[in-house]
């Protein structure tokens, strides 16, 4: 690797946000200068970019750019940039550390709804011993996972291990033993009609934006053992219509919702979602990217490219994920 080549890191609003990433990447890539966006860098020296939500236009006019690495599994933050250099491959994070974190979050929140944690929290606050609630077995609860990619398949496998009756929905059908698979717009109705807990791990693309609306919630199962359908979204906020979620919680179309992602982040303090008794909120941290794990992945990718190997986990820019 030439001494002058630069890996440009763009994370957050200030250089401080980028520093843990710069340190982790520089330690693994001694042959590259690792710099932050905004540092004094010759644009022609920039060979790679590692970015999370870079300012639109910031990656244009880098003539030697060979690859752009998203610092997360999602790439909607890059695809939304009309000035993203067209010929440059974009690679995303596919990493067992991130996948395990997401499955942990999914299991936790599915189990909290399944085991009626909200009810027992209320009872405890009231010092009230009431053991008359019916607790269905996991096998009697139908979980539907929207998005059967790296994250969806791992979460589905772990949910099955706990005993839930799990199905999945994706663009193309999947052949996974023990997992009922539904695909495309034609498979959506049947998938929703057999879903008590809907877990969303879809990417945000032009095809999925706004998919989680009242019309979709009305197609979820009404005959489940939990008393109503539950929404759990850790995909992206742009998938959901928050006004529809609130309306459907209030009119009984939805029993409860757990949301990690929001139409606008951070979620406005004035949003009624914060105070709704049937809503659980986590601050888009279902599966954070660990700088060390992700730096290992990116360093391995760069070393491979420099050896002439193919870049892995490349996004199809036509389909948007």
Active site residues: 236, 284
Instruction: Check binding of 106 to ligand NAP (CB under 6 A).
Output: no
| Packing angle, helices 15-28 and 291-306, rounded to 10 | 50
Exposure string (b/e) for 285-310, b if CB count within 10 Å is 16 or more? Answer: ebbebebebbbbbbbebbeebbeeee
**R_g of the chain computed on alpha carbons:** 22
Nearer to ligand NAP, 104 or 306 (CB): 104
Tokens representing 250 are 């209030």
Selected from 54, 144, 152, 229, the binder of ligand NAP by CB under 6 A is: 152
Binding-residue total with ligand NAP (CB under 6 A): 29
**DSSP assignment letter at 166:** E
Nearer to ligand NAP, 60 or 176 (CB): 176
Q: Binding of ligand NAP at residue 207 (CB under 6 A)?
A: yes
- Rounded Cα–Cα distance for residues 155 and 104 (Å): 8
Q: Pattern 15-54, binding to ligand NAP, x per CB under 6 A?
A: ----------------------------------------
Nearest CA-CA partner of 236 in 185, 284, 288, 174 = 284
Binders of ligand NAP in range 256-295 (CB under 6 A): 260-261, 284, 286-287
Question: Considering the complex, what minimum distance in angstroms separates the CB of residue 191 from ligand NAP?
Answer: 10
Does 203 contact ligand NAP by CB under 6 A?
A: yes
Q: Compute the least distance from the CB of residue 182 to ligand NAP, in Å.
A: 9
């Amino acid at each position: 690797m030439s001494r002058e080549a630069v890996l440009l890191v763009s994370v957050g609003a200030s250089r401080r946000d980028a520093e843990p990433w710069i340190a982790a990447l520089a330690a693994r890539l001694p042959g590259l200068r690792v710099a932050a966006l905004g540092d004094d860098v010759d644009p022609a020296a920039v060979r790679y970019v590692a970015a999370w939500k870079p300012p639109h236009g910031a990656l244009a006019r880098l003539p030697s750019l060979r690859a752009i690495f998203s610092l997360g599994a999602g790439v909607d933050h890059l695809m939304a940039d009309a000035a993203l250099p067209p010929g440059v491959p974009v690679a995303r994070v596919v990493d067992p550390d991130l996948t395990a974190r997401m499955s942990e979050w999914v299991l936790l929140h599915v189990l909290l709804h399944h085991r009626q944690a909200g009810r027992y929290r209320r009872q405890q606050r009231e010092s009230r011993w009431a053991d008359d609630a019916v607790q269905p077995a996991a096998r009697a609860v139908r979980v539907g996972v929207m998005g059967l990619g790296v994250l969806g398949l791992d979460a589905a496998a772990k949910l099955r291990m706990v005993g839930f009756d799990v199905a999945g929905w994706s663009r193309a059908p999947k052949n996974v033993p023990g997992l009922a698979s539904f695909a495309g717009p034609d498979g959506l109705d049947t998938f929703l009609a057999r879903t008590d807990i809907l877990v969303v791990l879809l990417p945000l693309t032009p095809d999925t934006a706004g998919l989680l609306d009242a019309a979709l919630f009305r197609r979820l199962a009404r005959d489940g053992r939990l008393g109503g359908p539950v929404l759990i979204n850790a995909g992206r906020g742009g998938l959901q219509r928050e006004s529809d979620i609130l309306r459907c919680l209030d009119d009984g179309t939805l029993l409860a919702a757990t949301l990690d992602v929001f139409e606008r982040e951070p979620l406005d303090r004035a949003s009624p979602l914060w105070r709704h008794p049937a809503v659980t909120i986590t601050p888009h941290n279902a599966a954070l990217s660990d700088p060390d794990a992700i730096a290992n992945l990116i360093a391995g990718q760069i070393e491979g490219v420099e050896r002439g190997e193919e870049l892995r986990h490349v996004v199809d820019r036509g389909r948007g994920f």
